[in-house]
Chains A and B, each alone.
Chain A
Amino acid sequence: MVELKNVSYTYPTGQHALDHVNLTINDGEFAFVVGTSGAGKSTLIKLLLRELTATEGEVRVNGYNLNKLKQRKIPDLRRTIGVVFQDFRLIPNLTVYDNVAFALRAIDAPTKYIRSRVPYVISLVGLAAKAKSYPDDLSGGEQQRVALARALVNDPQLIIADEPTGNVDPARSYEIVELLRGINACGTTVLMVTHQHDLVRYFGGRIININTGSVIFDEVIGGADEV
């Protein structure tokens, strides 16, 4: 569960990025966060990942009060969150398998668990046949699937996807969102930041629009795919 109560954030330069934002995303929800560049979407993500601490208000993620979270406890919070970035952030000299396994190795998971979990997650995103390929041999859509598999592999409660379709061709964008919806259907909360309004209109659901640091729209709309 994600909860922001009256949250504001001002950068050290004096720039106000978020202004008294109130937001609740319940467990198992799927929400799109939209907004123009500089609206405050990235700051919101940074607050949820505890890269930044709110200058005012309270942020709670998966039971952690981020205002009071000690530095050494941040890894514990992040183990409950899977993050997908626009630029994939895959390690080029590691295979698909190793890129996904890397996320588990980094949290000191048992080897036996890695060996069983990684192939399962790779097959979940439809890349079983490419487990031994390197990122450079894959298309943008496939690379983003690997990034998704990596985010999923430690079974997070929340997935934050920051413009996951930004570097993927339009046709593949729909596949990525479908994949995220499939993950959400299994009970994982998904928060997807995007500026592709056509995707949002197509899939519908909860839309949170941020503009100049404030939530100006937060409603559920019907999608074209439901028609």
Chain B
Amino acid sequence: MRFNSFKYLVGQGFRGIWFNRVNSFASLCVMTISLVMVGMSVLVSTNITKMIGSIERRNEVIVIIKDGAPINNVNDLGENLKNNENVFEVSFYSKDAAWEDMQKTMTEDEKSLFQYMSKNPLPDSYRVRVSDISILSQTVAQIEAMDSVDLVKAPNDFANLLINVRKICNLLFSVVTIALIVVCFVIISNTTRTSVYARRREINIMRYVGAKKTFIRIPFFVEGLVIGLISAVLAFGFTWFAYTEVFNTLSSSFNLWAIFGIATLIPFKDIALITALCYLGFGILISAIGSVISTRKHLNV
């Protein structure tokens, strides 16, 4: 295609936006809002997933070692635990340390009950943290099968609760995201369809004089693309502003979150690039597909 023709067609795309300005503006607004909602939904989902992950990682599986197990076996068990794919942290908790810690929590009366005891009753153990709590029961089964393991204590109920919370969150955000993407797609298709309808005479003439389909589609593609791109830029701006506001408001309580082991919000600068790229990608993709599909049936002259 000649550069002048391309320039002409791009110009026609902008002309289409201006001729359908009310419709274009309405599309721009709804598309921006939808993109913001998609973006926010993804950001909230990402943060919640991160928070749940941080809570998950604080959950310890206690691996109680058989009483009297030789030191070599205990060391081997430690190595085996570290080699497990779902284990990200292993620490040895000796019976002496356990006894010491236990005593710290006892009252003087309780301590007096144990003062004549000749032998530490607590076992040696490993404290294990898992990466993915959703496969906790499998990991526990693998640990139980290891040598020198007497007992494995895992917070199965809490794990199940977290798994369910995460599932519900993911499902909810996925449904919201898909619904909003469909809304964006319908809006762009509708804008293009209106524009195609307004210019059906031109399209008809173009077909009769031998214009190629691509040539006819370019102005509508440009129209959708421009709306998609402007919406993406506006959505990014809104998201930046809103997210930063939420971040600043909650930042004063981040220390408290840390005490409870909950991960803090992701700073916007860490996700700005990927957010911008996603908005632009969505804007371009939705507008491209929407405009191509809308023009298809009008091209069969």
Q: Which A residues form the contact surface with B (CB < 8 A)?
A: 49, 51, 72, 75-79, 83, 89, 91, 102-103, 105-108, 110-111, 150, 154
Known: A105-B8, A108-B215. A79 touches B201 (CB 8 A): no
Known: A51-B301, A111-B4. A75 touches B212 (CB 8 A): yes
Shortest distance in angstroms between A25's beta carbon and chain B's nearest beta carbon? Answer: 19
Contacts of B208 in A (CB 8 A): 49, 78, 83
In this complex, what residue of B is CB-closest to A87? Answer: B201
Shortest distance in angstroms between B218's beta carbon and chain A's nearest beta carbon? Answer: 11
Shortest distance in angstroms between A115's beta carbon and chain B's nearest beta carbon? Answer: 11
List, sorted by A's number, 6 A–B pairs whose CB atoms are closer than 8 Å. A78-B207, A78-B208, A102-B202, A106-B215, A111-B2, A150-B209
Task: Select which of B201, B202, B209, B215 is within 8 A of A78 by beta carbon.
Answer: B209
Contact A107 B2 (CB under 8 A): no
Bound Cα distance from A79 to B206, whole angstroms: 10
Contacts of B301 in A (CB 8 A): 51
Contact B205 A102 (CB under 8 A): yes
Asked if B156 CB lies within 8 Å of chain A CBs, one says no
Bound Cα distance from A111 to B4, whole angstroms: 7
Contacts of A105 in B (CB 8 A): 5, 8
Binary flags per residue of B201-243, CB closer than 8 Å to A gives 1, else 0: 1101111111111011000000000000000000000000000
Contacts of A49 in B (CB 8 A): 208
- Which residue, A89, A103, A106, A108, has most C-beta atoms of chain B within 10 A? A106
Bound Cα distance from A76 to B205, whole angstroms: 15
Bound Cα distance from A89 to B202, whole angstroms: 9
Instruction: Report the interface size class on chain B.
Output: 20 to 34
Shortest distance in angstroms between A108's beta carbon and chain B's nearest beta carbon? Answer: 5
Asked if B1 CB lies within 8 Å of chain A CBs, one says yes
Contact A89 B201 (CB under 8 A): yes
Contact B205 A106 (CB under 8 A): yes
Task: Select which of A91, A150, A154 is within 8 A of B201 by beta carbon.
Answer: A91
In this complex, what residue of A is CB-closest to B199? Answer: A91
Task: Select which of B5, B201, B204, B205 is within 8 A of A108 by beta carbon.
Answer: B5
Contacts of A78 in B (CB 8 A): 207-210
- Which residue, A51, A75, A78, A150, has most C-beta atoms of chain B within 10 A? A75
Shortest distance in angstroms between B209's beta carbon and chain A's nearest beta carbon? Answer: 4
Shortest distance in angstroms between B131's beta carbon and chain A's nearest beta carbon? Answer: 53
In this complex, what residue of A is CB-closest to B9? Answer: A105
Contacts of B205 in A (CB 8 A): 89, 91, 102-103, 106, 150
In this complex, what residue of B is CB-closest to A99? Answer: B205
Task: Select which of A72, A91, A106, A110 is within 8 A of B209 by beta carbon.
Answer: A106
Contact B2 A106 (CB under 8 A): no
Q: Restricting to B1-43, which residues have a CB under 8 Å from any CB of A?
A: 1-2, 4-5, 8
Contact A106 B210 (CB under 8 A): yes
Contacts of B210 in A (CB 8 A): 75-79, 106-107, 154
Bound Cα distance from A105 to B10, whole angstroms: 13
